[in-house]
Amino acid sequence: MADLARPDTYAKARLGMTLHPKQGAVLRDLFKPKSRVAARCANEVGKTSHIAVAAILYNLEMLDGQCISTAGSWMQVSQQLIPKLKAQSFRYPRWEFLDTAIKIEGVERYLGFSTRDEGTAQGFHADPNRPLLAIIDEAAAVPLPIFNAIEERCNPTYLLIMGSPLDPAGQFYSIETNLAKHYTHHHINQIDCSTANGYWVDQAGIDRKIAKYGAEHPLVQSNVFGEFAKSVEGALLSLREWINCQNNPPPYRDGDMHAFIDVAGGGNKNVFVFRRGNRVRIEKIWRDSNEMAAIGEIISIMQRLKKSDALQVEHVSIDASGAGKPMANRLHELGYLVNKYNGQTPPRFDDECYNSRAEVICRYSAGVKACQFILPDNEELRMQSLQATIKRHSSGKFLMTAKEDMVKAGLESPDELDAVSNACMPAPMFKSVNLVETTREYNAGQADYEGDIEKHDGNRRFFT
């Protein structure tokens, strides 16, 4: 029983967990009367799966307490915490593990709720005979009214505020800085929990992120080091804005379609992205040193999307600049008259932008800020979105930092960002015709036509 008396040893003896010493320290400090504990954590260091789960079950079983928890993203509660709690249910056969609650002898003793439901926190009434544990997870994305409702109105016996830091703003940042004296603080980064130190976070993955994006990249600062993200000069998006869109996606709305293919020769990366309505999907990312084989893959994906989503050729665009030009031309030769795109052409809608590429990424970034898109969960896209920087051209218009300049600075070409941001634009809608006599290369207002395409017999050969 001695092993069950302390929360850190309870985690091992009762739940079979192997804790990092820093996780154990969080639990020990948490279960001191009237505790106020703040844990600033990198990603994948077990704050939810180990700390939160152990704290909740220890408080319920050993202290006969109550628990409430919320998080900056409801998915953190519903898809991370609740499944981890349910995975321990076989140890507690008399308890009911529900989708948002745990009941013991018919009494709801744990409740998980969304930060969108401020009334749940405000209306919660603790049992004065039971110690109340409150957990605020992914705290950097939690609005101030939720903090106030939990900390001041619920007045928990034990309070744990934890999460990966975002931008230096918001209540979590204040708790770590100007309000620091009111809390006990802990900090856990990925290096603490790395395989090089005998734990579970892959050291090679840590090294790759740092080498690829640099230690100062906002997402590296947050995810790897557990530090508040430094701002990137000229960046269109902050880490907070990106996370907010990913954590709070809009309801799916069907609508127009646009597929965009960012291609590269010589075995470099090809990216095929499809948007329908406000949902964006990365259909495939692949490398192929044989450009004609890559053309075959593109046609295969288009055929599949024709069957699943009624995609038509006028909904498809391809980057026809640089290495993409011969690939785009080959598609046209085969009768697949996709829209040809060149980022250096004039913008379609926004005269404040110097060229189409600046317009596309600016409009995409504005949509992310407004939570307009259901975005794919892709690390490269996140990294590239936060790296995208803008400056003024001599004309006074906005211009993106060139891909060539990014490569010279040691950064990879932002292929996922270019493909996704272009797919988020309306398709140019190159209209279908039954007989193509002469077709000029259409590129959203492109002025340099490169000649006529040979006559095709019968209907165009797209999806025949």
pLDDT, one tens digit per residue, over 406-448 is 666 666 788 999 999 999 999 986 443 322 222 333 333 333 3
Examine the fold and report which residue of 408, 423, 438 is the final residue of a domain before the chain moves on. 423
| 56/147 same-domain check | yes
Going by C-beta distance under 8 Å and a sequence separation of 6 or more, which residues neighbour residue 339? 314, 316, 317, 318, 427, 428, 430, 442, 443, 444
Q: For residue 316, give its domain range.
A: 247-423
Distances (CA, A) of 392 to 232, 354, 396, 400, 417: 16, 9, 6, 9, 21
CA distance 328 to 321: 9
Instruction: Indicate whether 445 belongs to any domain.
Output: no
DSSP string for residues in 126-177: --TTS-EEEEEESGGGS-HHHHHIIIIII--SEEEEEE---SS-HHHHHHHT
CA distance 436 to 37: 69
pLDDT, one tens digit per residue, over 106-130 is 999 999 998 876 556 655 667 788 9
Distances (CA, A) of 161 to 34, 61, 147: 13, 21, 9
What is the Cα gyration radius of the chain? 26
Bridge pairing between strands 339-341 and 257-262: unpaired
| 284/161 same-domain check | no
pLDDT of residue 112: 94
pLDDT of residue 410: 66
pLDDT of residue 422: 96
pLDDT of residue 123: 59
CA distance 408 to 391: 17
| 117/265 same-domain check | no
Report phi then psi at 117, rounded to 5.
Answer: -105, 70
Examine the fold and report which residue of 161, 179, 196 is the final residue of a domain before the chain moves on. 196
| 49/174 same-domain check | yes
CA distance 411 to 231: 17
pLDDT of residue 87: 97
Instruction: Indicate whether 137 belongs to any domain.
Output: yes
| 285/404 same-domain check | yes
Which pTM was predicted?
0.77
| 171/74 same-domain check | yes
pLDDT of residue 323: 80
Tell which residue, 355, 349, 372, has the closest CA to residue 249.
372
Examine the fold and report which residue of 196, 224, 259 is the final residue of a domain before the chain moves on. 196
Instruction: Indicate whether 343 belongs to any domain.
Output: yes
CATH number (domain holding residue 55):
3.40.50.300
- Matching residue, tokens 């001041």: 152
| 258/111 same-domain check | no
- Cα maximum dimension of the chain: 86
Q: Assign 3-class secondary structure to 277-292.
A: CCEEEEEEEEECCCHH
| 132/268 same-domain check | no
Distances (CA, A) of 362 to 368, 388, 422, 439, 458: 10, 9, 11, 30, 41
| 183/300 same-domain check | no
CA distance 279 to 297: 23
Instruction: Indicate whether 140 belongs to any domain.
Output: yes
- Matching residue, tokens 């044989």: 290
pLDDT of residue 444: 35
Instruction: Indicate whether 454 belongs to any domain.
Output: no
Torsion sign (Cα): 381, 385, 387, 392: positive
| 151/290 same-domain check | no
Number of domains in the chain: 2
CATH number (domain holding residue 410):
3.30.420.240
Instruction: Indicate whether 352 belongs to any domain.
Output: yes
| 168/305 same-domain check | no
| 185/324 same-domain check | no
CA distance 334 to 160: 61
Spans of the chain, pLDDT less than 70:
1-2, 117-125, 265-267, 406-411, 429-464
Phi-psi region of 198 (alpha: psi -120 to 50; beta: other; left: phi over 0): left
Query: How would you label 307-342 residue by residue, b for 16+ Cβ within 10 Å and e otherwise?
Result: eeeebbbbbbbbbbbeebbebbeebbeebbbbbbbb
Q: How far is CA 127 from the centre of its chain?
A: 38
Distances (CA, A) of 71 to 244, 292, 305, 400: 12, 48, 36, 35
Q: How many CA atoms lie within 13 A of 315 on its CB side?
A: 22
6, amino acid identity: R
Going by C-beta distance under 8 Å and a sequence separation of 6 or more, which residues neighbour residue 226? 40, 41, 42, 45, 164, 165, 187, 188, 189, 190
Q: How many CA atoms lie within 13 A of 117 on its CB side?
A: 14
Instruction: Indicate whether 362 belongs to any domain.
Output: yes
pLDDT of residue 73: 85
Instruction: Indicate whether 86 belongs to any domain.
Output: yes
CB-based contact 335:462 (threshold 8 Å): yes
